[in-house]
Amino acid sequence: MNRIEERLARLRREGKKALIVYIGAGDPDLETTRRLALAFDAVGVDVLELGVPFSDPLADGLVNQLAAQRGLESGTTPPRVLETVAAIRRESQIPIVLYIYFNLVHRAGLERFIAAAARAGVDGLLVLDLPPEESDGYETLMRRAGLCHIYLIAPTTPEERVALIARRGSGFLYYISREGVTGMQEQVAANLAERVARIRAHTSLPVVVGFGISNPDQARLVARVADGVVVGSAVVDQIARHGRSPELVARVSAFVRSLGEAVKSI
């Protein structure tokens, strides 16, 4: 098992839920990304998702689009993200997933990119626009490298395709709690428990829920029905608010700590 599988298996044995946090790599710069990763590890984040900046982030709402733009402006590239992961690995074993668009992987060369990611210390890839129906070669390379290939399931995904994705995924299954793009929401979907149960009928993999979870109260509600909670835009928004402040890491980490306390209270 790699770090993702080990962490989620341990949490399941202990009857605990996972906190997964997303940030845009290179927002506002890669040194801050490294420092945030170490701080998140210290406050109990179970898996870190690093969004690799891309010029056309189709699955992302405005908050994360702007983070990607700031990442591009700070000179963040896929090779530099991998260098940052390697730097994190010198001080931390926090499980790391790259949230990435296939164009970036394809341009680097599929086999070459996966091998480089594994060497750097990445544990999994979530390729937003690569469906499992087109992923045979990708999945084979990921398994050989010891990386988890993580897939999304949407509220609109038909039952037979839920079963397909559940068979093909590894690490965990990521359920998008609402239709549309990423972004903070005022409330959690009312049918969330039913949707998570529908996915669990097809798999023993952990089911985590993201898209729209904005505060500790919402995180606590989601943790009651899912194996893990993903918070992205709300954390990215905190980074945007504090910008270049010398207190950025401390302030964002305090917010993340409050999310972790809510998730772990279940």
Query: Domain containing 75 — which CATH number?
Result: 3.20.20.70
- Pick from 110, 146, 149: nearest CA to 127: 149
Structural domains in the chain (count): 1
Q: What is the pLDDT of residue 244?
A: 84
128: its two tokens: 């937003």
Q: pTM for this one?
A: 0.94
Residues of the chain with pLDDT under 70: 178-189
Q: What is the pLDDT of residue 100?
A: 97
Annotate 124-145 with b (16+ C-beta within 10 A) or e (fewer).
bbbbeebebeebeebbebbeeb
Q: Which residues are catalytic?
A: 49, 60
Q: What is the pLDDT of residue 180?
A: 44
Note down the domain range covering 79.
Answer: 3-264
